[in-house]
Copies of this chain bind each other. A is one copy, B any other.
Amino acid sequence: MSILVVGSVGLDNVQTPAGSRTRTLGGACTYFATAASLYDRVHIVAVVGSDFPQEHLDFLRRRNVDLCGLQIVEGKTFFWAGRYDEDLDTCQTLDTQLNVFADFHPLIPDELRATEYVFLANIDPDLQIEVLQQMRAPKLTALDSMNYWITSKRESLTRALTMVDVVLLNQKEALQFAGESNLLSAARRILGLGPKALIVKKGEHGSICFMRGKGLGDSLFLAPAYPLEHVVDPTGAGDTFAAGFMGYLARDGGLSAAALRRAVVHGTAVASFTVEDFSVDRLRTLSLQDIQARYDELRYLTYFEALTSAECGGFGEPI
C-alpha cells in the first residue's frame, strides 16, 4: 500500500526561543511526506516555484517519496514566516506569501488515483474536495484544517468533513468549528457530519481520538503527549502526527479501533521527534526503530492496570 498527500511545500522563516532558521524546508505536505516515508511509499501532490532548491527535491526522492505529482512552475515557492512565544504556546504569523500556491489545483496523476491512503493536509477545503473527487475508492481518507478555513470557507470545509474518514483538528479548532465550549459536545457534532473518527490534538497535553462506536473501546481513546524537556521548534508537529497515524495504518493494514489507537500513539511518538529540531531536521536521521522505542515507552508511561485479553476483545472490529 502507499499514501498520497496533498498540501503545501514551502520555505519557512522560523523564530523560536531556541533560535531561528531562514528559508528552511517547510510546508505541511513536506513534513507529512518526510515522516510518513518511514512507514511506506508516499506520493506528493503539491506545487513549488522554479526557485525551489534542488537539494530539497533530492532529499525527498532519497526518502522513497514519489514526486510525479509535484508541479514545478515558473515563479516563487510558497513562503511562511512565524515567531513562537517564550513558552511555545502560541505562534505569530509574520508573513505568508502564497506565490505559486495561489493558483494551485491538485491534479492527481492517473496512476495515483487508486492510492488507498489519502491525507489532505491543511489547504483550502475546496482543493481538498477536488482531490477526493479524483480518487477511486480509497481505503482511508483523512484531513487536517485550520482556523482560517473555519472562518473563511466554513461551507466548503463542512462539505469536506462529510467526505472523509478521519478528521484531525487541534482543540481550539474543534471547539471553534463546532461552536461549543466542551470538547465532547464538539466531537459529537463533528462526528455527526459523517467521519468515522475525529482526532483532537492538544499539543503538550496529548490527544483524544473520538470514534463513532458505542462501546468504551471503540468510542474514545485518551493519549498523552510524549514528555519532552527541550522543544526546539513546534512547526510540523501536527503534520507529522498525521504521518505517524496514517503511516502506521497503511503499514498495518487494519482499520479496527485497536489499530486506530496504536496509530494515534505512533503519531504522538513521531511528532515528539519532529519538535526536537528545526524544520524536518530531526526526521532526517530518524528510524522506525526510534519511533517504536518511544511507542514502547508510552506503553510504560501510561500503564496502571492492564485489560485482560477478554476485556479488549471488542476493539478488533473495523471502525
Contacts and interface: CB of A to CB of B under 8 A. Distances in A.
Interface of A: 86-87, 181-185, 202, 205-206, 208, 216-217, 220-224, 227-231, 258, 261-262, 264-265, 297-307, 311-312, 315
Contacts of A202: 205
- 5 closest A-B pairs by CB: A205-B205, A222-B224, A216-B300, A261-B304, A184-B229
Nearest to A264: B304
Given A217-B300, A217-B303, 19 more contacts: A182-B231, A184-B227, A184-B229, A205-B206, A206-B206, A208-B227, A216-B297, A216-B301, A220-B301, A221-B301, A222-B302, A224-B224, A261-B304, A264-B304, A265-B305, A299-B304, A300-B307, A302-B302, A303-B312
Most chain-B Cβ atoms within 10 A of its Cβ — which of A208, A216, A305, A315? A305
Nearest to A262: B304
Nearest to A203: B205
Contact of A227 (B87, B220, B297): B220
Nearest to A183: B227
Given A216-B301, A300-B216, A87 B205 contact: no
A246 to B, nearest CB: 17
A306 B217 CA distance: 14
A245 to B, nearest CB: 12
Contacts of A181: 86-87
A307 B304 CA distance: 10
Contacts of A230: 182
B301 A307 contact: no
Contacts of A261: 303-304
A309 B312 CA distance: 16
A182 B307 contact: no
A265 to B, nearest CB: 5
B307 A303 contact: yes
A204 to B, nearest CB: 8
Contacts of A228: 184
B86 A221 contact: no
Contacts of A265: 304-305
Contact of A182 (B208, B229, B298, B301): B229
A182 B208 CA distance: 22
Most chain-B Cβ atoms within 10 A of its Cβ — which of A181, A183, A216? A216
A129 to B, nearest CB: 31
